[in-house]
Amino acid sequence: MIKLYDYELSGNCYKLRLLMSILGVEYSTVPVDFYPGREHKAGWFLKLNPLGQLPVIDDDGLVLRDAQAILVYLAAKYDTAGTWYPRDNPELLGEITQWLAFADGITGTASAARLHDALFYDFDINAARAGAHRLFRILDEHLWFGERQGREWICSTSQPTIADIACFPYIMLSEEGGISRQDYPAIRRWCDRVKRLKGFIVMSGVFPAGPAKAA
């Protein structure tokens, strides 16, 4: 069974829990005391991931780090319908990977702001917030134009992909870093769509979608 080295309040760990829940993949968790224990910098953990970062999975001896890389692996291996990471569609794979990199940029900005405010990390908070707003503006516009063309998800397909899963957590947690989503209406509508996916689960700080609006 898949083992996830996990910290409850980590959005990057949550991405993997979320995809595994949607795909119905069974897994067990190994709790890592990220805060205040800094266990991700402990010797035993650095042997798994020399970068000293969560998340990491161990699937039957295959040890993988990096949330985006793990999303690729999980979808490619366990999504029987093949829609979350369509292996036979080069254009779409390029697009997905572009947005996976974008998601890591969200971690570097919106998540950094949250770590600063909530866990007292010594980061440049103004730079982190400005960086997040810049990315949110780009995504909001992208989603807004998509909606005009009848596209509901980040990539050019009628189904959600792992790009949606990768971007969702730290956008949803952005207010904990003092980053309001007030000015990003298309992002807010997209967040609501993600929350209505079958198999959606929450993490601490993320709440389920409200009651569905009458059609």
Q: How far apart are CA 3 and CA 73, in angstroms?
A: 14
70/44 Cα distance (integer angstroms): 20
Q: Does residue 116 interact with ligand GSH by CB under 6 A?
A: no
Among 66, 95, 152, 175, binds ligand GSH (CB under 6 A): 66
> Among 12, 157, 161, 174, which residue sits at the site for ligand GSH (rule: CB under 6 A)?
12
Asked if 157 touches ligand GSH (CB under 6 A), the answer is: no
Tokens describing residue 207: 């709440």
CB 93 within 8 A of CB 76: no
Please report whether residue 44 would count as binding another protein according to CB under 8 A: no
Q: Applying CB under 6 A, does 40 fall inside the site for ligand GSH?
A: yes
Q: Cβ of residue 159: shortest distance to another protein, in angstroms?
A: 29
| Residue burial 176-209, b: 16+ Cβ < 10 Å; e: rest | bbebeeeebebbeebbeebbebeeeeebebbeee
In angstroms, rounded to a whole number, what is the distance separating the alpha carbons of residues 215 and 201? 23
Taking CB within 5 to 8 Å according to partner kind, which of ligand GSH, another protein, none is near residue 67?
Answer: ligand GSH
**37 scored as a contact of another protein (CB under 8 A):** yes
Q: Which of residues 67-86 bind ligand GSH (CB under 6 A)?
A: 67-68
- Sign for the pseudo-dihedral over CA of 11, 12, 13, 18: positive
C-beta closer to another protein: residue 114 or 131: 114
Nearer to ligand GSH, 66 or 95 (CB): 66
149 contacts which partner out of ligand GSH, another protein, none, CB within 5 to 8 A by kind? Answer: none
C-alpha distances out from residue 86 to 22, 76, 206, Å: 16, 8, 28
Nearest to 29 by CA among 53, 44, 8: 8
Q: Which residues bind ligand GSH (CB under 6 A)?
A: 10, 12, 40, 52-55, 66-68, 104, 107
Q: Which residues bind another protein (CB under 8 A)?
A: 7-9, 31-33, 35-37, 39, 117-120, 175-176, 178, 203-205, 207
